[in-house]
């Protein structure tokens, strides 16, 4: 039986996982050796690692043609392993890895029948994403030396424009009938039509509610409207227009905003805590993309309810993360040295808990949630949940790709509101230092044994010990092998070495956290 081969790729963060989930639900075999983003490790290890750079180098005119026979042998090895894991002979074989886009010419030449699904997402949102791995890793190939000296956001503009244009130019001319380009926003807002196109390309299944349920609208759609963007370079503007984003009015998918009537119908927080909910919640917060999610998975394996809906892919509570206005008010009060407000947070916390437990009976449940925003509002949250335990995840800010980016706009607004100039001309690392140092001081002084600090570096170096610490801190007893299996992070690598003045807030924070 002739197998139909389908691969999915795009700039990292474009939504490729939603497509592979649809294909899996429709009956395609997608592999068994996948990471949490459903990227295929077999493809990465047995083909991409060896052939991505040679293919891309030749594609942009910086290297010789690849050895097609050797590339074909690597691909055959990948397919033997990939399909061999199925234990059967699947009709449709699919795999996804965002960087497949840079292997496309090689794949097409060695297997002309391959079908390719190209995910494109609004570049204005993409340049604000924390996922800039392709820019960081492949920028030296896609950008000139002069362009590599531009700001990180402008480099992201160019990588998004060139990466997508390279693929579109090649596939439109070379893969007629075997190429499908999807805008992620269309998949989110018109799932039936777009899933129909995916199934047509794959030659399987029919659109139904189960398939459409595999697609969710992330809160990050339209984030460019609420954050600061640097001026667009002409190449980026042209790519936005080409892919249908020039002036496109995509709107952010907000959580169902709480109205006064909604809040009036909900019980008070004092009635919820103790009468319905266990008072000793465990909350996880910190400025790390994956650390809070790993802690949340450990707590869930310990039997603690960490949410069932309205979570992002890392188990972070998306609804709580949206409370930027509350974070601004809390930060302004702390900077001004005035009492931290709790009234606004209390109203929204009741609303958040109603959605957190949506459709479930919360009575008697051990519960908690993970959210970066919890770190921003820690004193107010502790005032409202006085028996709460807090797990503070921290990582060396010099390992963050955005460490030298500007201070977030909402933090600038809080500083202006407080009449504080400490963030003027500041970098994200200055903001990180202030918020994390204040959280640690508050936790140690005000919360005592209800506060646990976990460094990502220590979690990576000794996962068994630190996962055991998290589990016992939450009251779940010793950690176990299943909990430890949730630890998949690699050691953080330092990305930049900023100037740090002796006695500065950055120097103080780095010393306090052992960096």
Report the SS3 class of residue 3: coil
Q: Same topology for domains 4-242 and 261-512, yes or no? A: yes
> What is residue 208's predicted lDDT score, i.e. its pLDDT?
83
> What is residue 425's predicted lDDT score, i.e. its pLDDT?
56
> What is residue 36's predicted lDDT score, i.e. its pLDDT?
85
Q: How far apart are CA 507 and CA 309, in angstroms?
A: 40
In this prediction, the residues of the chain whose per-residue pLDDT falls under 70 are 1-2, 246-267, 271, 274-276, 308-315, 318-319, 321-324, 359-360, 362, 401-403, 406, 409-410, 424-425
Give the contacts of 246 (CB within 8 A, at least 6 positions apart): 237, 240
Distance from the Cα of residue 213 to its chain's centroid: 20
Q: Which of 268, 109, 243, 258 is nearest to 186 (CA)?
A: 243
Domain 261-512 - what CATH class? alpha beta
**Site of tokens 């779940």:** 476
Give the contacts of 163 (CB within 8 A, at least 6 positions apart): 11, 101, 102, 134, 138, 142
Give the contacts of 22 (CB within 8 A, at least 6 positions apart): 195, 198, 211, 214, 215
Domain ranges of the chain: 4-242, 261-512
User: Each residue of 208-258: pLDDT tens digit?
Assistant: 888 888 888 888 888 888 888 898 999 998 898 888 886 544 333 333 344
> What is residue 247's predicted lDDT score, i.e. its pLDDT?
54
> What is residue 194's predicted lDDT score, i.e. its pLDDT?
86
User: Each residue of 327-378: pLDDT tens digit?
Assistant: 878 888 888 889 888 877 887 788 788 778 776 676 777 899 998 889 999 9
User: Each residue of 96-124: pLDDT tens digit?
Assistant: 999 999 999 999 999 999 999 999 999 99
Q: How far apart are CA 398 and CA 206, in angstroms?
A: 48
What is 331-390 written as a DSSP string? HHHHHHT-PPP-HHHHHHHHHHHHHHTTTS--TT--BEEE-HHHHHTHHHHHHHSTT-EE
- Please check whether residue 321 is in contact with residue 377, taking contact to mean a CB–CB distance below 8 angstroms: no
- Please check whether residue 112 is in contact with residue 102, taking contact to mean a CB–CB distance below 8 angstroms: no
Strand 389-394 with 368-370, pairing: unpaired
Multiple choice CATH, 4-242, 3.40.50.300, 3.20.20.140, 3.30.300.30, 3.30.470.20: 3.40.50.300
């Amino acid at each position: 039986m002739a197998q139909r081969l389908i691969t999915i790729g795009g700039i990292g963060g474009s939504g490729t996982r939603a497509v592979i989930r649809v294909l899996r639900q429709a009956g395609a075999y997608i592999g068994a050796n996948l990471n949490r983003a459903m990227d295929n490790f077999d493809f990465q290890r047995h083909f991409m690692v060896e052939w991505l750079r040679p293919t891309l180098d030749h594609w942009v005119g910086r290297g010789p043609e690849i050895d097609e026979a050797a590339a074909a042998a690597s691909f055959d090895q990948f397919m033997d392993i990939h399909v061999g894991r199925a234990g059967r002979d699947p009709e449709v074989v699919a795999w996804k890895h965002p960087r497949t886009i840079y292997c496309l010419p090689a794949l097409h030449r060695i297997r002309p029948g391959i079908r390719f699904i190209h995910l494109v997402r609004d570049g204005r949102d993409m340049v604000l994403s924390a996922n800039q791995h392709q820019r960081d890793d492949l920028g030296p190939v896609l950008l000139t030396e002069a362009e590599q000296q531009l700001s990180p956001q402008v480099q992201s503009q160019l990588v998004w424009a060139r990466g997508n244009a390279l693929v579109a130019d090649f596939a439109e001319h070379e893969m007629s009938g075997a190429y499908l380009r999807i805008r992620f926003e269309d998949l989110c807002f018109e799932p039936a039509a777009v899933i129909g196109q995916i199934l047509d390309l794959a030659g399987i299944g029919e659109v139904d509610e189960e398939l459409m349920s595999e697609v969710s609208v992330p809160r990050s759609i339209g984030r460019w409207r609420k954050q600061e963007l640097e001026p667009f370079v002409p190449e980026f503007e042209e790519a936005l227009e080409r892919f249908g984003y020039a002036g496109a009015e995509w709107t952010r998918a907000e959580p169902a905003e709480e109205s006064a009537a909604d809040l009036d119908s909900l019980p008070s927080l004092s009635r919820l805590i103790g009468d319905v909910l266990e008072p000793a919640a465990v909350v996880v917060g910190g400025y790390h993309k994956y650390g809070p999610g790993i802690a949340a998975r450990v707590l869930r394996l310990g039997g603690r309810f960490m949410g069932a809906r309205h979570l992002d892919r890392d188990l972070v509570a998306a609804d709580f993360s949206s409370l930027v206005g509350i974070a601004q008010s809390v930060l302004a009060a702390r900077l001004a040295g005035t009492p931290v407000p709790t009234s606004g947070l209390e109203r929204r916390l009741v609303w958040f808990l109603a959605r957190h437990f949506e459709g479930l009976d919360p009575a008697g449940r051990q519960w908690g949630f993970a959210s970066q925003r919890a770190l921003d509002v820690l004193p107010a949250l502790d005032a409202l949940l006085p028996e709460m335990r807090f797990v503070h995840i921290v990582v060396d800010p010099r390992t963050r790709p955005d460490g030298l980016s500007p201070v977030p706009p909402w933090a600038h607004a809080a500083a202006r509101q407080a009449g504080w100039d400490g963030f003027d001309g500041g970098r994200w690392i200055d903001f990180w230092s202030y918020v994390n140092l204040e959280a640690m001081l508050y936790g140690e002084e005000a919360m005592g044994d209800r506060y646990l600090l976990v460094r990502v570096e220590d979690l990576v170096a000794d996962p068994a010990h630190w996962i055991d610490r998290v589990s016992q801190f939450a009251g779940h007893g010793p950690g176990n092998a299943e909990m430890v299996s949730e630890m998949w992070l690699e050691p953080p690598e330092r990305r930049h070495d900023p100037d740090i003045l002796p006695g500065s807030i950055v120097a103080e924070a780095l010393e306090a956290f052992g960096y």
